[in-house]
Structures are given as structure tokens and as C-alpha cells.
Amino acid sequence: MLNWTDVDTVMFDMDGTLLDLHFDNYFWETLVPTTYGQRIGLDVEAAWTHLQQEYRALHGKLDWYCIDYWTDRLQLDIQGMKNDARDKIALRPNVLPLLDRLQTHGKKVLLVTNAHPGSLNLKMQHTGLQKHFQRLISSHELGLAKENEGFWTALRRLEPYDPERTVLFDDNFNVLQRARTEGIRHLFGITLPDSQRPPVQHDEFVCLHDFKQIMPPMAGAAHHDR
């Protein structure tokens, strides 16, 4: 599926790739509509209908991922609400074994996320994952979402990498398509980004159900794990 000797740099998305997307779906589709509805005097269904229109208008743009934008737009303490719901933040299967294995292989391992720095910091504090990465990069640093034209080219200036020797794991197919357009060679989607929802597939990309499917061999071993 992947010859790890062809890879120097490993990039991971965060939500839906390393972390169960259930937290984010619950937050934006249940908690925010409920709280917003209470604030403006709408029932949850009416608030959700309104918010869906707001979400769709910004989907794929940097503001869609921006805590500051939604805090101002909805007049809600989005960061505080995320902090209060943090117990729902959970790792996807075999994330830690893969990250540990990549360290033994000496790969450059980067976290590249559209999440706002406030959300990124919360999730790193809750999971302790930051120690597994050489660098944590929020797309807000570059002023572009990962699916926007020029993001992956701009990322090379911030954190140099060889696209031909890079692998990206991301549950967002628009992001994978943009990364492919800008030269990243090895691309994998995620079959079950949200553990509480049905699996997804995509004809253009190999999708992983569990990171054990892509686990590199033990450093120095002559055979692949089964």
C-alpha cells in the first residue's frame, strides 16, 4: 500500500484523521445550535436550519474553521464551549502506535490542520499528541485553508518538504485533491472519520479504516507487520 522507504515527510490532518470527528460534529451540529437557539429564542431545529445556511456559505474557506469568526458571528463563547465539551475528544484507532513507529524510522512528522490555534491547543493539551510531531501547523498561520489554491505551495516555504517524498493522511477529500494538484505524491483518506456515523469511501483515493493497515515495519525488521 505504501513503501515507507519512499517517504521522508509524513503529514497528518487532526480532526477525523488522528481524532474522532464525533467531537466536532457533536459540537457544531448539536451543542452550537442548542446554545445559539437558546440565545436568540429559537428551538433547536430552527436554529440548526439557520446555522446550516451559515455553514454552507463559508464551507472550505478559512473563516469556516475560525473560532474568532464564529464567536463574533453567533455571539457565543466558542472556545469556552469547546473547553467544556473536551471530554468528547478521542483518538482514532492505532494513532499512537503509528506515531511511535514513525519516530523510530526518523521521519519528519507534521500535524497540518485547518483547526484554529485555540482548538489545536485544546486538543493537544487533552491528548498529549504534540510530543509526536516536529511541528504543529494551523492553516491560520498561512491565511489559507488546506483546500484553497496555493496552500501546499505556501506550506513548503514555511516548512520545506519534497512533495514527491511526502505522504498526507486527511479525511477531507477536497484537501486531498488540492494536495495532489500541488504535487504531493502519497495521499490517503479515512474511511471512518466519525465513529458514530457510517463509513465513507472515495474512488480517487485509498481510504484507511485503521492505521494498522499502513503501519511501517519495526525499524530494522526485514518484514512488514501483519
| 99 and 199 co-located in one domain | yes
Q: What is the pLDDT of residues 177-226, one digit of tens each?
A: 999 999 999 999 999 999 999 999 888 999 999 999 999 998 765 444 43
Q: What is the pLDDT of residue 1?
A: 83
* 3-class DSSP state of 106: coil
> What integer pLDDT is reported at residue 25 of this predicted model?
97
Does 224 fall in a domain? no
The answer to the question of residue 223 being in a domain is no
Q: Give pLDDT tens digits for 22-78.
A: 999 999 999 999 999 999 999 999 999 999 999 999 999 999 999 999 999 999 999
CA-CA distances (angstroms) from residue 8 to 3, 11, 60, 95, 181?
Answer: 11, 10, 28, 19, 20
Query: Could you give the dihedral angle defined by the CA atoms of residues 146, 152, 158 and 159, in that order, rounded to the nearest 10 degrees?
Result: 110
Q: What is the dihedral of CA 24, 189, 112, 167, to 10 degrees?
A: 160
83 plus 126 within the same structural domain? no
- Lowest-pLDDT range of 16-20, 38-42, 91-95, 200-204: 200-204
6 catalytic? Reply is: yes
Asked if 182 and 111 sit in the same domain, the reply is yes
Q: Are 10 and 85 in contact (CB under 8 A)?
A: no
Quote the pLDDT of residue 221: 54
- Report the chain's C-alpha Rg in angstroms: 18
Catalytic residue chosen out of the listed positions 6, 63, 72, 162: 6
For residues 52 and 59, is the Cβ–Cβ distance under 8 A? Answer: no
